[in-house]
């Protein structure tokens, strides 16, 4: 688990599952809490790898959090890796929809769906 002074408001748990690195976010992702996510994403990008960011536990995300994810998506792409999202819900889903970011990332309903080869491409 990655955290800092604001680790009570935001956490990132990183685990390897079925050939992917899953980053589970929980709490509030904003300007004051974004650094642990930035560090975890930077460490997780590997050439040809697959990053799956689980947003199901995220209650809030501001523009700083969105920018961290967008920047990491570009970094992953440069490395030949993918960065996918799962579990968009509530106000976080709304923010991604309003900004159009949900069309930039492959988005899955859940981590289980993302890891299920029978589920097909993300929607």
Q: Which two tokens stand for residue 123?
A: 């929607």
- The third-level CATH classification (topology) of the domain covering 10-117 is Transcription Regulator spoIIAA (3.30.750)
* CA 118, chain centre distance (Å): 22
What are the sequence ranges of the domains in the chain? 10-117
The 3-state DSSP class for residue 104 equals coil
Q: How confident is the model at residue 117 (pLDDT cuts 50, 70, 90)?
A: confident
Read off the pTM.
Answer: 0.90
Provide the 3-class DSSP secondary structure of residue 101. helix
16-25, pLDDT tens digit by residue?
A: 999 999 999 9
Residue-level pLDDT at 8 = 79
């Amino acid at each position: 688990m990655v955290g800092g002074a604001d680790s009570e408001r935001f956490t990132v748990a990183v685990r390897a599952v079925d050939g992917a690195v899953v980053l589970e976010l929980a709490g509030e992702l904003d300007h004051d809490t974004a650094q642990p996510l930035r560090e975890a994403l930077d460490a997780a990008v590997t050439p040809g790898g697959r990053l799956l960011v689980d947003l199901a536990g995220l209650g809030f995300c501001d523009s700083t959090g969105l920018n961290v994810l967008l920047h990491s998506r570009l970094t992953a792409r440069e490395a030949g890796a993918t960065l996918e999202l799962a579990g968009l819900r509530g106000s976080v889903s709304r923010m991604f929809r309003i900004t159009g970011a949900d069309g930039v990332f492959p988005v899955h309903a859940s981590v289980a769906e993302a890891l299920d080869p029978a589920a097909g491409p993300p929607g």
